[in-house]
Every structure is written in structure tokens, then in C-alpha cells.
Amino acid sequence: MEQGITEKQFKEEKLREDDKGLWLFDKCIMFKEEYPFIIKGVELICKKIKPKKVLELGFGYGWTSTQFQKCGVKEHTIVEAHPLIYSQAVEWQKKYPNTKVIHSFWQNLELKDEYDLIYYDTFEIVQTNNNDELDNLKTKYWATCYADYDETFADYKEPSFIFKVNGRKYFQSLYKK
């Protein structure tokens, strides 16, 4: 997380896109090369726990959101802080009436609902005072985006899992709360 970037600065920062991905503050917040791995991770999560009610923190390109819809979630709430990405999420939402898109930093929300799954895929570049809020969200399972597999995951515990795409190993976190 960058020190000194405020929520206001984040919201005012121009989003840029190039052949590598989406950029804010000279940091790539979403790499286009991640597409196949992210989709596969969500597909495997849905196959494993069959979530019906999902809270997704971060929208990005909407890849995970679309995959959750393909996997048949019944209720889907997406929280996105950046104004341009939020507007893209609202446009995307028109195809999926079972979704709700909230324009906010997730740390600033008081969510009362319980979810089957919270999928956390944000790029933390804003310093907030509410990072402990993750512990207060009600869910059966947590998942974060995939990571390249390395030996640090050798002792992973179920229900997290390791999978391969295009010959590379990936780790998909999934934690029972």
C-alpha cells in the first residue's frame, strides 16, 4: 500500500490502459495476462463451494464478475472505488439483474448481510484507517485472487487449492471462516 495517497487522490487519478493492463499512479492494477488464471480460479471456487451469494471487492475488467455469473450465483454485490471502473461496472450490471454495484471503498461500508463467499481482488494503494474491517464482514468463505505457485504454498491447507493453466502452476486461496 502506498503511503500518503488519499481516497480523494485515488478517485481523481486518471485510469490508463495499455497493452499490459490498467494503470493508476504508475502501477499496473490489473494485468491482461491474468485473464485465464483468474477465470479458472473462480470456476474452481464455484465448483468447490457452489456460492449463491457473493460479495466481490474490486471490479477491474469484470472478468471475475462475469465468471461468477456464468457459474450461477444468485446474488452478487460488487464494491468498486474508482469512478471510471465503477461506471464500467454499472454498464456491465445492465446484463445481470441479480447484481448490485456499490461505489465506495469497501473499508467505508457497513455491510450487514452474510455472504457465502467474499472474493477480495483489490489493489491496495490507498491508505485507509479501516483495514480491520475485513474481519467484520460476515461470510462462510474468503478468497483472494490467484498467485503464481511457489514453495511458500507447499503446505497449503484445504479448501485452498493449486491448479495449472498453460503449463504454469497457480495457487488459489480459499479460506473457511
CB 100 within 8 A of CB 109: no
Q: Where are the domains of the chain?
A: 7-176
Calpha distance 72→52 (Å, rounded)? 7
pLDDT tens for 89-115 read 999 999 999 999 999 888 788 778 889
Calpha distance 83→48 (Å, rounded)? 33
pLDDT exceeds 50 at position 131:
no
pLDDT exceeds 90 at position 173:
no
Calpha distance 92→116 (Å, rounded)? 22
Residue 1: the pLDDT is 36
By DSSP bridging, strand 99-103 and strand 75-80 are: parallel
**DSSP state at residue 130:** -
Q: What is the sign, positive or negative, of the torsion defined by CA atoms of 149, 43, 77, 89? A: positive
pLDDT exceeds 90 at position 77:
yes
Q: What percentage of the chain reaches a pLDDT higher than 90?
A: 30
pLDDT greater at residue 136 or residue 75 = 75
User: Strand (E) positions, 25-98?
Assistant: 27-31, 53-57, 75-80
The CATH number of the structural domain formed by 7-176 is: 3.40.50.150
Name the grid cell of 88.
464500467
Residue 79: the pLDDT is 93
pLDDT greater at residue 45 or residue 120 = 45
pLDDT exceeds 50 at position 2:
no
pTM for the model stands at 0.79
pLDDT tens for 38-53 read 888 888 889 888 999 9
